[in-house]
Structure 1
Amino acid sequence: MDVLRVDDQLTQDERLVRDTVRAFRNEAVDPYIAEWFESGNLPVRELARAMGGLGLFGMHLQGYGCAGSGAVAYGIACRELEAADSGLRSFVSVQGSLAMAAIHKYGSEEQKQRWLPGMAAGELIGCFGLTEPDHGSDPGSMRTRARRDGSDWILNGAKMWITNGSVADVAVVWARTEEGVNGFLVPAGTPGFTTSDIKRKLSLRASVTSELAFADVRLPADALLPDAKGLKAPLGCLSEARFGIVFGAVGAGRACYEAAVDYAKSREQFGRPIAGFQLTQEKLAWMEVALGQAGLTALHIGRLKDAGKVTSQQVSFGKLANVRAALDVARQARTILGANGVTLEYPVLRHANNLESVLTYEGTQEIHTLVLGEAITGISAYRG
């Protein structure tokens, strides 16, 4: 149902990634994802080992057991994972593009050797603590602080809405110090470091979301990420994660679209399939157009990234455009399915609920709009 045949532009290796991840998803995720979503549980360790075996964690990073794949190949993997559920792509994104990328880019050689091979294999899980209960879009106002005590650091504060938080073996935590914003590696079980899961979610239910709390957590000097200087460090990691969403949103939208097409062909009203009615075909046509445009946007940004030419503004463009397109597709698909569209027998409303969170995290729709506004006008509308 890809009229533009966007995937014809993929290389042989990129198609292999697509087919491998799709086969894994079809066998190990799709039959169970509705149950995981309904129960609010995800078999994290089992999935981590399986996805680590496929080389999906930090697959765009070099060395330390990482696959060293290109940006488009990583994006295609995200697309296929999110076609199953946004929670699955979020798991891989937080592990690889946030936690592992931070250690890979800003960590010491000892830190890289200690954590990255196990994380790449799925034997160790990481999380990324930046967002706080009172500071989401404005991380520069964070209240989490670390102060020196001899050669050690004492960490106090809290982080909120942290994917993988309670199951992580290590948390990459950003805190304000006398030198500015710095990153710290906080292993699970460190005295004073506690987590609590956020319950009663109506979105991203097949994902572990937690609050992290730090009460006089004593960390050794080598817990500091030595090359992470200032707020640009975590924001650079966020750009990596947003890139995965540019592709992932296409997968979520595609799953909704395919469900709507299949349903419209089989559902009969007034003596014929509803796919034969003009209004239904109009909906499907606009869904096809939206996904075709989103797929081309993702591929173009991916090629720019592979060429070392991508900008954060371009990633914001893709995140803003593609998530909104996928959400529009999900909502239209739900109308085609009628009452059946609100059940877990079909993936549509599950994806729509998830996409409401994707619209907000890794930069809200409003923030990405203002990023583009600044790129267009040269005037910042959200900075003092």
Structure 2
Amino acid sequence: MLKTIIDTGFADLSRMNFDVSDEQRLVLDEVDRACRELRPFEDEAYLAGRFNEHLAPIFRKAQLLGLPISRMYGDGQGADVLTYALALERIGREGTGVRTFLSGHVSLGQVTIQKWASEEQKQQYLPQATRGETIMCFGLTEPTAGSDPASLRTTFEDRGSYYLLNGSKAWISNGSIADVAVVFAYPKGKRDGMSAFVVEKGFEGYSSQQQKHKLGMPTSDTGSIFLDNCRVPKENMMGPPGKGLSIAYSGLMSGRLSVAAGCLGVIEDCIEEAVGYARQRV
């Protein structure tokens, strides 16, 4: 049984074994099979400039939508960091759009919930996400603030039995297709005490919109999220009040690691294509 760092408490990456085990090879063989099945659909979606609707179903069938998530939750596979990175490396060869979906749904969404949420929140949101029944995203970036949590303008107010969120998020991977978003906001009128919330698309005051006419990654869904007096139940604050900055940086670290792993696959594919062309050109 593969185990996550969270399962084992093992967080010293300097002691990791970088040899690929037989069990990891079985996982990577399944990743490769799923990627080969996905490729013709991804090529078609790329040429059409749209999100690949076959991505989630194919990865769901291969049980890859919760690869680093504990087996306690739905279809979580309990893979360690190295196994997950190797999987993302292979997935990156199918295009940055495919890897970006996994970064938003798993690395930034599910992994952040697994690390910071209450057990009740984990039980509520992770099983469905690992099965692909819901899609997740990470609502940090705003129109006037990139991946700089200290510059956010989204606010929340404590209204007794719920929080009222106001603001917007921009350039969010999976933003217009997500069912659940991890959202960050400051207390209204303050510049400290940022907190994190798990926000469902069905909550009153929540809306999203696809961002079109991008220069790249046509198969990656990129969206804006609008919070207009969005009512969020009290139990949907994630982590301790005021710990949002730590949660955001933690999520960004997980997300950036997934980007790096996927980029290895991208450059491998580029080299393979370039070498193939060099060998057959006249």
Q: Match for 1:195: what amino acid?
A: S
What residue is the counterpart of 1:49 in the other structure?
A: 57
Q: Which residue of 1 aligns with 2:13?
A: none
Q: Which residue, 131, 136, 160 being the options, matches 2:170? A: 160
Q: Distance in 2 between matches of 1:71 and 1:114?
A: 24
| Partner residue, 1:191 | 204
Indicate conservation of the 8 Å contact 1:56/1:77, yes or no. Answer: no
1:259 aligns with 2:273: yes
Q: Distance in 2 between matches of 1:109 and 1:237?
A: 18
**Structure 2 matches for 1:156-235, cutoff 5 A?**
156-177=166-187, 180-227=193-240, 229-235=243-249
Structure 1 residue 40, shift from structure 2 partner: 2.1
SS of 1:167's equivalent in the other structure is coil
Which residue matches 2:14?
none
The answer on whether the counterparts of 1:95 and 1:126 sit within 8 Å (CA) in structure 2 is yes
Give, in whole Å, the separation in 1 of the partners of 2:119 and 2:240.
11
Match of 2:66 in 1: 58
1:143–1:176 Cα contact (<8 Å) kept:
yes
Amino acid at match of 1:134: T
Equivalence for 1:315: none
CA contact (8 A) 1:58 1:67 kept: yes
SS in 1 for 2:244: coil
Q: Decide whether the 8 Å contact of 2:154 with 2:165 is kept in 1.
A: yes
- Contact between 1:126 and 1:169, CA under 8 Å: does it hold in 2? yes
Q: Percent identity?
A: 37
* Higher helix proportion (structure 1 or 2): 1
Q: 2:251 aligns with which of 206, 219, 237?
A: 237
Whose relative contact order is higher, 1 or 2, with alpha carbons under 8 Å and at least 6 apart? 2
Contact 2:41 2:52 in 1 (8 A): no
Note the C-alpha offset of 1:254: 0.6
CA contact (8 A) 2:149 2:248 kept: no
In the superposition, the TM-score normalised over structure 1's length comes to: 0.65
Question: CA–CA distance in 2 between the matches of 1:182 and 1:254?
Answer: 39
Q: Name the SS of the counterpart of 2:269 in structure 1.
A: helix
2:99 maps to 89
* C-alpha distance in 1 between matches for 2:212 and 2:106: 25
Aligned mates of 1:217, 1:144 — CA distance in 2 = 11
Please say if residues 127 and 162 of structure 1, whose CA atoms lie closer than 8 Å, have aligned partners that are also in contact: yes
Provide the C-alpha distance between the structure 2 equivalents of 1:201 and 1:180, rounded to a whole number of angstroms.
Answer: 34
The TM-score normalised by the length of structure 2 is: 0.87
C-alpha separation between the residues in 2 aligned to 1:37 and 1:201?
12
Moved over 6 A (4+): none
Equivalent pair of 1:14/1:72 in contact (CA under 8 Å): no
Q: Does 1:144 align with 2:161?
A: no
Residues 176-197 of structure 1: CA distance to partner in whole angstroms, max 9, x if unpaired? 1267111111111222111111
| Aligned positions, number | 259
In the alignment, does 2:114 pair up with 1:100?
Answer: no
Q: Distance in 1 between matches of 2:20 and 2:184?
A: 37
Q: CA deviation at 1:73?
A: 0.8
How many angstroms does 1:127 deviate by?
0.8
User: What is the aligned partner in structure 1 of residue 90 from structure 2?
Assistant: 80
Paired residues of 2:186 and 2:195 also in contact (CA < 8 A): yes
Structure 2: gaps of 5 or more residues: 1-17
> For structure 1, which segment, 76-85 or 52-61, has the greater mean C-alpha deviation from structure 2 after superposition?
52-61
Q: Secondary structure at the match of 2:150?
A: helix
The CA distance in 2 between the partners of 1:43 and 1:181, in whole Å, is 35
SS at match of 2:238: coil
Aligned-pair Cα RMSD in Å: 1.7
Gaps of 5+ in 1: 1-7, 269-384
